[in-house]
Structure 1
Amino acid sequence: IQAVPRGCVVSDVGSTKRALVERADVIGRSDVHFVGGHPMAGSEKSGVGAADPFLFENALYVLTPAARVPDSSVNEMVDLVRCLGSRPMLMDAETHDRVAAAVSHVPQMIATALVNLVGRLNEADGLPLQMAAGGFRDLTRIASSPFAMWRDICQTNTVPIREMLDAYIGELTAVRNKVDQEALADNFTYANEIRNGIPKDSKGFLHPLHEVMLVAEDKPGVIADVATRLAQANVNIEDIEVLKVREGEGGTIRMGFGKQADAEQAVDILNGVGYQVRLR
């Protein structure tokens, strides 16, 4: 910050914000303003091979300006974020780190611990990993993330992560005590309600998507055929996911559309060519 020209707005793309915003405030200048940034986009992959030209498109991009940063500087960052195709959201750094601990950092710790547990069980006879199906892979995908990135996250967001881990351990203990009881149904019901209320996308859209479910045979070319037919009708698929696929038995494809009209048109097009499709 000391080296940049007068009037500059400085930002970052890190996953934790409080420590960085506080540090920038200490070493900063009155004529240079720091606005913390966290684009909610990326994956567990890294390097040039994982580059994505649409990485920021429709992604939620959190900005955490310090209290002394003028609105003009914040607005410059908001405009930049929108130019990237992302959706800006403003919040204070402490709130960001607490929320990030709950929905991003603790899930990483959970996935890592679960894979370590199953890995040690697997050392005995190799059976657990042979039986690990789609659910286990989906739940633990982020366990492939490199520690180099998570070292910094854990060291700069230690207290919120520990607090959320303690809360999660409390939830696990409650579930453990109910495993053989009918009362466990309450936990499942509540979890279903919350999970189904999450916006149906993978990049932090601020608006919920209109979903279409398609049942299709499990064979090469199905997704390409569906996408091509919709593209020819100028219907844009904003999100797509393959659900519950069993080899040779078919499965379900979930598609998300930005407009209800697009979802309804997709159903008409695909039903018209023989696919089994419905609005969700």
Structure 2
Amino acid sequence: MIRLFVSDLDGTLLNDQHVLSDENRKAVQLLRSKGISFMPASGRDYHGVQMAIEESYLQPKAICLNGAEFYDNDGKLLISNPLSKDSVAAVQAVIDKYELDADYYTSLGRCILYGGDDLKTHLIERIKKAAPKEMREDPLRFMERIKFFDTLIVEKTIEGILERTILKIETRFDDLELREQVLQELETIEGIITTSSSLHNLEINSIEATKGHMIEQVCETYGYKKEEVIVIGDGMNDIPMLERFPNSYAMGQAPQAVKDVAKFETDSNANDGVAKLIYKILAEM
């Protein structure tokens, strides 16, 4: 019997426009009406998760920042797996070496380093360097639509950032050869795991902060057995959950490396693969 359905967001529950389709929304609501708990597991922070699903009125439990945080239905933070200070310092040394822009995620919001006077222009230039197409076309409108500035924290010195408890560090690349070089250096640092949710980014978390490990923590908290859980995703940051749970599904458009880990496959996010899987599950109950 399935009691918990865990879904990645971007590329899985959301379509290629990063929007929750009507069919997926209806399917999730039907799933919950049958007594099955639904939980997004995302690389986004809690604010970003809620923005993605706000039209569904779900307010579910949520795994955020790749497993660095878990929130209950009331939006209360229950579990946190932050980066250690030593790990942050080691990652920062690589960021400094290659003069990379980075986002530092805390429980209070996304933190960036900027000491200038024209923040919006600075952010637009960052987006234009390495971001999905829909963000590059009109960066300011995109940021306003997702309420980017609501939880943005700006520090003028790196010391101000490093004094905070950091849950995830993300950096983006337009040069994929540089991305590979940076990834190789990051993989030598103990105590961290480096994943990605797109071809152009790297996301750094504590080794304890994976979607798979956090779902196991959630199962322990609420008494779910692994065979009572379905997990579904499409990205490299979904592999830790796909490989730890027997009822694991890859999206139809997922890379082969993701499909190789998952036990099963559903349709693509463009074709409401999550909804089709939910209807299949409910039909078999």
Same fold (TM over 0.5): no
- Structure index of larger Rg: 1
TM-score, structure 2 as length reference: 0.29
Higher relative contact order (CA 8 A, sep 6+): 2
TM-score, structure 1 as length reference: 0.30
